[in-house]
Chain A
Amino acid sequence: QKEVEQNSGPLSVPEGAIASLNCTYSDRGSQSFFWYRQYSGKSPELIMSIYSNGDKEDGRFTAQLNKASQYVSLLIRDSQPSDSATYLCAVSIFGNEKLTFGTGTRLTIIP
C-alpha cells in the first residue's frame, strides 16, 4: 500500500467551478500536511499547509484535514485556467522534516 495516495487524474473542471482534490495517507503518525502545485517543467510551489483537523482557508484555496479518516483535501474555488497544473499532496511525521509525496493529480481547468 502506498503511503500517500492521490487520484492521478486528469481531473477536468470548468472555469469558475470548484475543483476538489483528495489525498489519503497510511501513517497515523503523520502530523503535517502540505499541498504543492507544480506546473509542467517547473519545481513544486507550496500553496497550503495544514496541521489540525478542520478547514484552513487562504484566498481561493481551502485545505481540509480529517485525521480520523486519514485524508486531506484541497478545494479551489472559482477555478481559473492558470490553476491547471499537477497538485502534489505531501505529509511528514512528527519530528521528521522529510516529506512523503503522493504521485500527484493533474488538474485541467476548461475555459
Chain B
Amino acid sequence: GAVVSQHPSWVICKSGTSVKIECRSLDFQATTMFWYRQFPKQSLMLMATSNEGSKATYEQGVEKDKFLINHASLTLSTLTVTSAHPEDSSFYICSASVYNEQFFGPGTRLTVL
C-alpha cells in the first residue's frame, strides 16, 4: 500500500501555543488529503478535507480559524492547531487517497498542558 508519514509523532505544548503537524505522501502524489481527530475509545472524526492548491473544506462544527490547513504541494499537507487548549488534546491522523483507497499516517498525539 501507499505510505503516508506524519511529523511529529507526539507533541506536548503549553496552553495558548500553536502546533503544526505535517502529513506527507511518500511514494505517490495526493491531490486530496484528510485530517481526522480521535478521542480515546471513540471512532475517527473527520475534521477537514485538504485539497492541493485550494482552501480546505471543513466539517460542520470544526473551527477553520483554529485548525488551519495548508496543502502546499501534492505530497504535503499541514494542520496547525492555533492557541491550543487542553480540550484540543487528542490523536490527530491524516490520510491520503490514491486509486480510491485512503491510507493513513501513523498519527500525532497532541497533549496540551
Chain A: residues with CB nearer than 8 A to chain B?
Answer: 32, 34, 36, 42-46, 49, 88, 90, 92, 97-99, 101-104
The 7 closest A-B pairs by CB, nearest first: A43-B107, A43-B104, A103-B43, A97-B97, A43-B93, A44-B104, A101-B44
Binary CB contact string for chain B from 36 to 56 against chain A (1 if under 8 A, 0 otherwise) = 000000111010010000000
With an 8 A cutoff between CB atoms, is B106 at the interface? Answer: yes
Interface range for B: 10 to 19
How far does the Cβ of A35 sit from chain B's closest Cβ, in whole Å? 11
Q: 20 A-B Cβ contacts within 8 A?
A: A36-B104, A43-B104, A44-B44, A44-B93, A44-B104, A46-B101, A46-B102, A46-B103, A88-B44, A90-B102, A92-B100, A97-B49, A97-B102, A98-B34, A98-B49, A99-B34, A101-B43, A102-B43, A103-B43, A104-B43
| Interface SS of B by simple majority | strand
**B→A interface (CB under 8 Å):** 1, 32, 34, 42-44, 46, 49, 93, 97, 100-107
In the bound complex, residues from chain A placing their C-beta under 8 Å from that of B32 are: 97
Q: How far is the CA of A49 from the CA of B42 in the complex (A)?
A: 23
- Complex Cα gap A104–B34 (Å): 19
20 additional contacts (CB under 8 A) given A44-B44, A49-B101, A98-B49: A32-B100, A34-B102, A42-B107, A43-B105, A43-B106, A43-B107, A44-B104, A45-B104, A46-B101, A49-B100, A88-B43, A97-B49, A97-B102, A98-B34, A98-B46, A99-B34, A101-B44, A102-B43, A103-B42, A103-B43
A99 to B102, CA, bound (A): 8
Q: List, in ascending order, chain B residues with CB within 8 A of A101's CB.
A: 43-44
B1 cross-chain contacts in A, Cβ below 8 A: 46
The CB with the most chain A CB atoms within 10 A, among B43, B101, B103, B104, is that of B43
Chain A nearest CB, measured from B30 CB (Å):
10
Write the chain B residue with the least CB distance to A99.
Answer: B102
Q: Determine the chain A residues whose CB is within 8 A of the CB of B46 once the complex forms.
A: 98-99
* Chain B: minimal CB distance from A42 (Å): 7
